Structure 1
Amino acid sequence: MRPTTTFAAIVALLAALGLAGPAAAADGDASWTVATAANDFGPDRENYGYVLNPGGSLTDGIVITNDGATPLHLAVYAADAFTAEGGRLDLRPEGAEQAGLGAWIRPQRPDVTVEPGESAEVPFTLTLPGDVAPGDYMGGVVTEGEGNQRLGIRVRLRVGGELRPRLSVEDLRVSYSGTPNPLGTGEATVAYTIRNTGNAILAARQEVSLSGPFGGLTADAGKVADTPQLLPGDTWKVSVPVHGVAPVLRVTGTVALTPLLTDASNSIAPLTAVRTTAHAWTLPWAALLALVVVGVLAVLGYRFARRRPA
């Protein structure tokens, strides 16, 4: 049963699976491509995207084409997505515990053999539990051959209900490195962790700045790259250098995050920014040392002058 509304497919693809378009070829000696089935959801889709209510179900399919010269035997399964190191989306391997789309998608058969130059379609059914929480879920339908070669198509699901897109900044810290120049400026590092505390897949636009007492002597970090898309519950560690920070005894570090939500038309909607601050000491050690040296020299000079005979 097809849902009443389909969620627009996201053009970005799972790099970990080698997918490069509506049909994609596997790396290595094996040669096959995968594509979405042409059906009521539309032809030539980049990947699978659905909106479905709790307890709902739908049927779709994956088409596998053998471009090699020998018969091709592949496993077919579904898997949950997760964010790997470096922000890259990956899929859990076959046999791993699956709690989301990897558990809800059932291919009609667990494997398939495709003759050279031929194609085979494997239907699959997505069935949601009645008590599934609303929000965004990510996974994939995967084909796997010998040598753990995997090729698949991403599945993005939005479960109907209240969508709560939220990001938070945690463990915000500001550290300062001074300068040997008593009249110069130093550098600071602003480090923090972004957590997706909502139920929607989000990226974040970031702005980082430092300001002195009463909001003066502001130093801006400049352009900070957007985060990758974060799944609900994901965290992303950030460390941003800020140059030209004056040693004004105490500074305030401000991080502003603008959540970026991809809507059903595949456009990005910026949401209300979240701001978090932290403080750090920026003591002018070089200037203080220079003052100490000048003071010591002044005292020594004064004592020497008093000891000189009249």
Structure 2
Amino acid sequence: MKRRSSRFARVACAAAVLAAAIAPAVWSTSASADDDQTVTWSVRPADESGPDGRAWAELELEPGETTTERMAVINLGDSAVTFSLASADGYLTESGRFNMLPSDEKSTRAGTWITLPSTVTVEPGATAVVPFLVEVPKNATPGDHAAGVAASIRSEGASEGAAVGVESRVGFRVMVRVAGDVAPGLEVHGAGEYITEWNPLNPGTVVVRYTLHNSGNVRLESSSAVEWNGRTVSGETVELLPGDDRAVELHLRDVWPLGLLSVPLSVERAVVLPDGSREHIGPVMQTVSVSAIPWPQLLVLLSLVLMVGGMAFRGRRRRRQVETLVNAAREAGRREARIEG
């Protein structure tokens, strides 16, 4: 029984983590409520009549300005459900997926700019359009600010006699561009490593590892590339919110170890505008130095030197042995000649 309870606790924990993930598009999910009925729902940006086709809300507002947005909560199940509604600060995970702070963690940024009802009840197969207010503080800093809104249900289980709550949450991001001076900035901190192939007839791999830091106040998209001997290796496009850091790794294969290598790294930058377009602002260029010591080849060379040296030593020793025998034979011949004489 204890094993089954522990297993349930692990599953519940994993379900909570997965249910909290916020995708950058329309989503739906399902969860089991207390009465063992499965609840399936989706949440989308909306206008007065229902979902309007947007993936998320993109707003341009002045400091102190207020606007009304809407979310459509769609009940895809067979019974009426009361959903909890909430807003929270938004962020990007290490994999680049958008998420919002969990309900037990207090928001301090754009999540606090949103006011919406605490709950909404939706009939089976119906859609509820819920208005919510976005109010930008008068002292808000210019640039991009990320938040999220979500509809959730909570189910209960038991583990070793204790109640375990699982929150299943579905929503979308709300991006607010506060008017003012736009200051894009991207810092690149890179380093390189050479991975040796110990077969001396095979070249190795240069691994370029670097961190991207959005030091500006607007959302950026970045794509990177390294070049070597006319070959280019490109990385995936990375989205960065202001203040974000992202670790990236590129592999340049089939590179011979030639000592100190200088690998050019190019990082393209583009500001993501509220209308979804991109404004390219030019690349960041950096040279990554990589120490590529040809250890396998040096070992082969050392082996050849030792082999040749050993053969030369043995040759000299044999020659000395032959000379010794020849000299001994001559001396014996001279002794015999003196005796006969």
Q: TM-score, normalised by structure 2?
A: 0.74
Bigger radius of gyration: 2
* C-alpha contact 1:185 1:245 (8 A) present in aligned 2: yes
Gap change, CA 1:285 and 1:192, over 3 Å in 2 = same
Q: Which residue does the alignment assign to 1:254?
A: 264
Secondary structure at 2:21's aligned position in 1? helix
2:100 to 75, 87, 91: 91
Q: Which amino acid aligns with 1:38?
A: D
Distance 1:39 1:149, change over 3 A: same
1:122 aligned onto 2:130: yes
- Look up the match of 1:102: 111
Going from structure 1 to structure 2, the CA distance change for 1:55 and 1:181 (only over 3 Å counts) comes to same
SS in 2 for 1:50: strand
Match of 2:219 among 194, 201, 209: 201
Structure 2 counterpart of 1:164, which letter? A
Partner of 1:149: 168
- Say yes or no: does 1:16 pair with 2:16: no
> CA 1:45/1:297 → structure 2, altered by over 3 Å: closer, same or farther?
closer
Q: Secondary structure at the match of 1:132?
A: coil
Name the counterpart of 1:287.
297
- 1:177–1:47 distance in 2 versus 1, CA, 3 Å: closer
Q: 1:52 offset after TM fit, Å?
A: 0.7
The equivalent residue for 1:55 is 64
After superposition, where does 1:192-271 map in structure 2 within 5 Å? 192-210=210-228, 218=229, 220=231, 222-227=233-238, 229-271=239-281
Q: Which runs of 5+ in 1 are unaligned?
A: 1-13, 211-217
Describe the SS at the equivalent of 1:294.
Answer: helix
Indicate the percent of aligned positions where both proteins have the same amino acid: 28
Deviation at 1:43, TM superposition (A): 4.6
Alignment of 1:27 with 2:39, yes or no, is no
C-alpha offsets along residues 247-304 of structure 1, whole Å, 9 cap, x if unaligned? 1111013321101322244223332100222212211222222222232233333333
Deviates more, 1:181-190 or 1:270-279: 181-190
Q: What is the deviation of 1:103? A: 0.6
Distance 1:167 1:100 in 2: 22
Q: In 1, distance between residues paired with 2:24 and 2:269?
A: 27
CA distance in 1, matches of 2:302, 2:123: 84
- 1:214 aligns with none
Q: 1:282 to 1:306 in 2, by over 3 A?
A: same
1:289 aligns to what SS in structure 2?
A: helix
Counterpart code for 1:77: A
| Alpha carbons 1:15, 1:89 under 8 Å: kept | no
Match of 2:181 in 1: 162
The one-letter amino acid of 1:145's match is: I
2:148 pairs with 1:140: yes
The counterpart of 2:194, out of the listed 147, 169, 176, is 176
Distance 2:291 2:129 in 1: 64
1-structure distance, mates of 2:121, 2:196: 66
Higher-helix-fraction structure = 2
C-alpha RMSD of the superposition: 2.7
Matching of residue 82 in structure 1 with residue 91 in structure 2: yes
Sort the Cα spacing of 1:249 and 1:125 in 2 relative to 1 into closer, same or farther, 3 A: same
Question: Within 1, Cα distance between the matches of 2:77 and 2:169?
Answer: 16
Where does structure 2 lack aligned partners over 5 or more consecutive residues?
1-18, 32-37, 156-166, 324-341
The 8 Å contact of residues 57 and 127 in structure 1, kept in 2 or not, is answered as yes
